Chains A and B, each alone.
Chain A
Amino acid sequence: MTDPASDAIIELAGISRTFGGGAGRVVAIDGVDLRVGRGEFVTLVGPSGCGKSTLFNIAAGLADADPGGEIRFGGQRHAGRDLLGRVSFMPQRDLLLPWRRVIDNAILALEVEGMRRADARARALAMMPEFGLAGFERHYPHQLSGGMRQRVALIRTFLFERDLMLLDEPFGALDALTRTMMQRWLLDVWQRHRRSILFITHDVDEAIFLGDRVVVMTARPGRIKLDVAVDLPRPRPAHVATSAGFLRIKSALLDAIEEESMKSFTMAGH
């Protein structure tokens, strides 16, 4: 029997992050415990400024956590910086390089890893149809719509083949229709590739529709407030959003989020 804890791709235990000192001291996140299982899709929601991005930066190895917490990646203990290059990270903005064509933006991570350009391009080219980008390989980012740019950023993230993907509100800037299409499409791709995903969003519907589990964070300082399993069968049709199970989870989440949003609202308004 395998220990269920060792089956996690990443486990954060007691992770905190404090900025500044003295009167300007800000505790961004405080004692966060979070676990993502292998192949699991976990969505993270919370009021703005709850430290979601800080948590992401720590999980990606871009920032150090305060001493005292523990990060286990693939069952082994790691200092934050060791995770650089081991987690596939997609920030909110697409951050495409304007001087590179779509195909060369897609292979950026592979190039950094030292793969030969021709090999990397061949791999990216094979994935283009699946990402709806066939025929656009030689376009420059400024010639694409927002939805397409986001797909280029996603293909870049997917081609950087790591067991864990961190997606920070990847569809936040898209219009509602494009967003729905992209969610369905992401689930489709995820089901075929079976990576572990930690996905930040503001949108409760999106969080439930996509996730195996939805985690709610509190207002600053960010803590885990709620961790709900989404027991809706996959594949999930669009009308799952009107099912009783979906609505039950949604109302529980909304209650928790509203409580936290009120807190951060009154904190900001004083």
Chain B
Amino acid sequence: MTPGRILALQTATILACLALWEGAARIWGGPYSVMPSVSAVLADMVANHAALARGILRTLTETVLGFAAGAAFGFLAGAAFAQFRLLERLLLPLLVVSQTVPVIAFGALVVIWFGNGILSKVVIAFYLTFFPVTVNTLRGLMSVDPQRVDLMRSFGASAWTLFWRLRLPFALPAIMASLLLGVSLSLVGAIVGEWFGDTVGLGIMLVQAMYAENMPRLWSVVVACGVLGAGLYGILAAIERRFVWWGREL
């Protein structure tokens, strides 16, 4: 089957499922049913588009900032641990312990420390992102085949050259995998962070819709969250396919 035909079939399958959903909701659902119809959700998205766009923009900003900070910190920490093994022995256990506390447990604390604004959400998104990036950077850098290191050394390579020409490219597929995980976690962090108090953002819109028992609204925000998550993941996955494709060849 050609890729075009597969795509057409996939689209048709999705449309069929939506039609089924629409039909089922119309037959069994009422205005306050737990499953609003697809058309009701779409209608709400259109009617509420300004607030939805504002919410998406806010949550996107929190996610991207927290992700960028977490990725940068995670990479630097992983690279430092790989270079200075004593540092790893001293600090990595602390990072592991920090990750055993579920983020919800100290969300309130973060809000008190960093205020009710965007910063506290960025911090939570950061907290969820940096750890997988640290671990994968460390693992990736350490897993370089010693024979390759020997070959580079026989050319007279310095530690610096070894890092840039060998270790880093070798570790990139592992780092990239952690970034894909990290961006999804970062979005979770931003949404959950908003639950602890805010006025704008998809997370707070979810809570408001829940208390108002506004089912079409709840679903339209869920869809927005899904689109946001898929979009961020898709961008990173495209970058991986284009620029860091050699994971299988190592």
Q: Which A residues have a C-beta under 8 Å from some C-beta of B? A: 57, 60-62, 84-89, 91, 93, 95, 97-99, 108-109, 111-113, 141-142, 160
Contact = CB atoms under 8 A, between A and B. Distances in A.
Secondary structure at chain B's binding surface: helix, strand, loop or mixed?
helix
Interface in B230-250: 246, 249-250
B91 to A, nearest CB: 30
Interface in B140-158: 145, 147-148, 150-157
B197 interface: no
Contact of A85 (B148, B156, B249): B156
B165 interface: yes
Contact of B154 (A89, A111, A113, A142): A89
B166 A97 contact: yes
A113 B156 contact: yes
Contact of A87 (B154, B165, B246): B154
Contact of A112 (B145, B150, B156): B156
A211 to B, nearest CB: 23
Given A95-B147, A99-B246, A85 B154 contact: yes
Contacts of B155: 85, 108-109, 112-113, 160
Contacts, number: 51
15 contacts: A61-B154, A84-B154, A84-B156, A85-B154, A86-B156, A91-B147, A91-B150, A95-B147, A95-B148, A95-B151, A108-B152, A111-B165, A112-B156, A112-B161, A142-B249
A149 to B, nearest CB: 12
Contacts of A93: 147
B177 to A, nearest CB: 16
Nearest to B172: A99
B150 A62 contact: yes
Contacts of A86: 156
Given A91-B147, A112-B161, A98 B154 contact: no
